[in-house]
Structure 1
Amino acid sequence: MSPDSGVAAHGVLIEPTTLRIQRVLPGTVERVWAYLTDGELRRKWLAAGDMVLQAGAPFELVWRNDELSAQPSQRPQGFSDEHRMKSRIVAVDPPRHLVFAWGEQGTGEVAFDLEQQGDKVLLTIVHRRVPDRDALLKVSAGWHTHLDTLEAVLSGEYAGPFWPRWLQLRDEYDARHPR
């Protein structure tokens, strides 16, 4: 990401339990939208899983973060090779706006907004109602690392090992987020 893009490199808390993170990505809104909503494309940077783009529709995200890099790395303690989360679509306005519940209980919510800016796209993610500080650190480092991966995929570049970057970012967010 270009330092002159006006977009902060790290996510910021806009409320005590709400993280906003942005990226300026190469391509068109339609291409980035496909990487958000098509399960096969989404698995290259975040998590697999089919979505029916209709408010109220259930879906499941399947994370396999070890597969996001050709270079193996040590997975942190407490993480398995696969994580599944059932969820549902809250709102959808293709190809610019998607909101889904974070988990089956819907205790959190994630909104994605896309805005074309010349030959690039501003992607804004707002993750609301993160339940506690530990989850906030994991979510912050997670979105940041996954977005780094998406940016690399869209640019045709190598993203680097997932887990070492995630651990580094968790520590950075620990220093950035108030206690």
Structure 2
Amino acid sequence: MDTKTKPDAYGELIEPTTLRLQRLLPGPIERIWAYLTDSELRRKWLASGAMEMKVGAPFELSWRNDELNDPPSKRPEGFPEEHRMQSRITELDPLRKLTIVWNNSGDVTFELEPAGAGVLLTVTHRRLPDRAMMLKVGAGWHMHLDILVARASGKEPPLFWDGWARLQQDYDRRLPA
């Protein structure tokens, strides 16, 4: 991708069970790395959970999506107020790459690269178990990354649950059946 080109907000299947999303964020790269690795900063756009920055280190992620907006949007039926997941760091190249095992739904790689005054973040979620999970994960990553862009840019983030519900329908139309 040319650094002048803004990445498409929608994720794309790059393999049958692998979804990739990209966002251009304001730099510097150290600041965006902190949004990935610091529990308090990560909580503001994704999930909290202290990480020991070492390959093999286990940690727990805790999602509280209702807290991403004030006031929160309405949580869909069947979703708990909090979701916890055991994870483990499997690859680490500080300021460039972080890969974690994502419990029973594959693994996720975050890659950062300079893009002019900004930072290109690429999120690759591999080994998604089925299409239903792919639709939820696609919409979830899309919204979480939109919130990260807003937070990193000092703007009010979009409503998580409202966007997630709409995007799940979009991903259903965009991703092959």
Task: State the TM-score, normalizing by the size of structure 2.
Answer: 0.96
1:42 CA drift (Å): 0.2
Aligned residues: 174
Task: State the TM-score, normalizing by the size of structure 1.
Answer: 0.95
The aligned amino acid for 1:174 is D
1:117 CA drift (Å): 1.1
1:72 CA drift (Å): 2.3
1:155 CA drift (Å): 0.6
Cα pair 1:63 1:82 within 8 Å, conserved? yes
Larger deviation: 107-116 or 144-153?
107-116
1:8 CA drift (Å): 1.2
Instruction: Determine the C-alpha separation between the residues in 1 that align with 2:5 and 2:68.
Output: 26
Pick one of 162, 166, 169 that aligns with 2:167. 169
Pick one of 119, 129, 142 that aligns with 1:144. 142
Query: 5 Å matches for 1:14-25?
Result: 14-25=14-25
Counterpart for residue 85 of structure 2: 85
Counterpart for residue 72 of structure 2: 72
Instruction: Determine the C-alpha separation between the residues in 1 that align with 2:29 and 2:176.
Output: 34
The aligned amino acid for 1:41 is L
Counterpart for residue 117 of structure 1: 115
Query: 5 Å matches for 1:46-61?
Result: 46-61=46-61
Counterpart for residue 27 of structure 2: 27
Aligned-residue sequence identity (percent) comes to: 58
Establish whether residue 128 from structure 1 lines up as the match of residue 126 from structure 2.
yes
The aligned amino acid for 1:5 is T
1:68 CA drift (Å): 0.2
Instruction: Determine the C-alpha separation between the residues in 2 that align with 1:72 and 1:30.
Output: 29
Unaligned runs of 5+ residues in structure 1 are none
Cα pair 2:146 2:158 within 8 Å, conserved? no
Instruction: Determine the C-alpha separation between the residues in 1 that align with 2:87 and 2:150.
Output: 27
The aligned amino acid for 2:164 is W
Counterpart for residue 12 of structure 2: 12
